Amino acid sequence: MSRKKLVNILILVAAIIFVIAGAVSLLEEPITASRKGIRLGEKNKKIAKLSEQYQKYLDETAGKITGSPVNPHIISQIRSEIFKKMPNTKLYLWMSNTTGEFVFGIPSPVFTRLNKTFDKYRSIIEKDGYYVDRNDFLLNLVDKHNNIRVSQFDEGGRRRFEGADWRFYKEHFFPGKSSRSIRLALSSAIMNEDKQVIGDLYLKIYEPAPRSLFFKDFGSYTSTVFEVFHVIFGFAAVLLWFLVPTWIYIDAQQRDVKNVNLWILLTIVSFGFAFLIYLITRPPALKSFHCPECEKELNGTKGFCPYCGFDLSSTFCPGCQYPVKPGWQFCPNCRFDLTKKPGKEVPDEGNVKNSKEK
């Protein structure tokens, strides 16, 4: 098999793989969007169900509180109910009065630490302006209390980031797996026996959700398949990038094309566009006669190819043995009708001689 034929086969295979892998890769976005919509719908249903469930619980709990300070027996009862729910879901419940000041919170160690932090660095927090008041501070950070480094509130730590539009203790800065969890914040007004509002009861819910609910983790098998096709697509593209210039080099040698290196360089940098121009502008004929089968140069033989044994009888004119090409209807040398089967009509030597003299 000739070098050019081998390159032709490799280019064909690489082109087929390139097209198939590209087509599959294009399907990733619509399939991903469809499955993302399904997961988003399931996630919203889960959030709606949790919201309804815990809002009902919060309203019932707020109805038990009729004054401030709150009866310790009621707080103990609420604490017991919270701890029963917490093995699978983390709940943070607290009460603020009408002025926004803290009244009580469960679990108490968490709120004790956050309140001490707020009291110690209150001037810094209020100056920064990110949190409106203590209740806003608790609402944003209570479920992230384990990630807070108290030392980060110091003035010395802040000076390193003066002029920045964020601080260490902002909610979005904390690391964690929020993308794999459901976080809800609910509230319910607290009224006394005279139906006057005396404060608000807040509930922050943190519940780890199944990985299947989140687009980031869904369809790992499908994602792997697309990644494989991406790799195949890239491999085929690189293969074509090298094979096409190789084909141009071999073909240009056979056709005695000048500036071969320039054509190769243009093909490489233009990602194949120069290849199309080369096909249009290259010389139509080879610089010497080659076997149609193996494309090796023939040195005068007209019977069979000495390299591959191909029958050359249809490659030469039956009348004058002039080399002809497929598609020709008449020999340009003796005007023999090439559409006729060999042996039916062969011009005599006189006609051939006269044709040559003309």
The confidence score (pLDDT) of residue 338 equals: 75
Is-contact 203 58, C-beta < 8 A? Answer: yes
The confidence score (pLDDT) of residue 83 equals: 84
Residue 171, pLDDT above cutoff 60:
no
pLDDT tens digits for range 72-119? 999 999 888 888 876 778 899 999 998 888 999 999 999 998 998 888
Question: Within a 10 A sphere around the Cβ of 73, how many other Cβ atoms?
Answer: 9
pLDDT tens digits for range 8-58? 888 899 999 999 999 988 888 888 778 778 878 888 888 898 899 999 999
State phi, psi for 342 to the nearest 5 degrees.
-60, 140
Distance CA 242, CA 301 (A): 35
Using 50, 70 and 90 to split pLDDT, how confident is the model at 164? very low
Q: What is the DSSP letter of 290?
A: B
| Complete DSSP assignment for 15-33 | HHHHHHHHHHHHTHHHHHH
Is-contact 47 262, C-beta < 8 A? Answer: no
Highest mean pLDDT out of 77-81, 251-255, 314-318: 77-81
State phi, psi for 296 to the nearest 5 degrees.
-85, 150
Q: What is the DSSP letter of 296?
A: P
Express as a percent the part of the chain with pLDDT over 90. 17
Express as a percent the part of the chain with pLDDT over 70. 75
Distance CA 291, CA 316 (A): 11
The confidence score (pLDDT) of residue 173 equals: 43
Residue 200, pLDDT above cutoff 60:
yes
* Intra-chain end-to-end CA distance of the chain, in Å: 41
The confidence score (pLDDT) of residue 162 equals: 43
Residue 323, pLDDT above cutoff 60:
yes
The confidence score (pLDDT) of residue 60 equals: 92
Is-contact 267 245, C-beta < 8 A? Answer: yes
Is residue 55 classed exposed, middle or buried when 0-12, 13-18 and 19+ CB atoms within 10 A define those classes? middle
Domain boundaries, the chain: 3-213, 294-358
What CA dihedral angle connects 269, 274, 278 and 281, to 10 degrees? -130
Residue 160, pLDDT above cutoff 80:
no
Residue 149, pLDDT above cutoff 80:
no
Distance CA 218, CA 35 (A): 8
Lowest mean pLDDT among 60-64, 74-78, 138-142, 307-311: 307-311
Distance CA 166, CA 122 (A): 17
Lowest mean pLDDT among 70-84, 125-139, 150-164, 253-267: 150-164
Lowest mean pLDDT among 51-60, 114-123, 179-188, 285-294: 285-294
The confidence score (pLDDT) of residue 302 equals: 60
**Which has the closest alpha carbon to 96: 129, 68, 128, 54?**
68
Q: What is the mean pLDDT of the chain?
A: 77
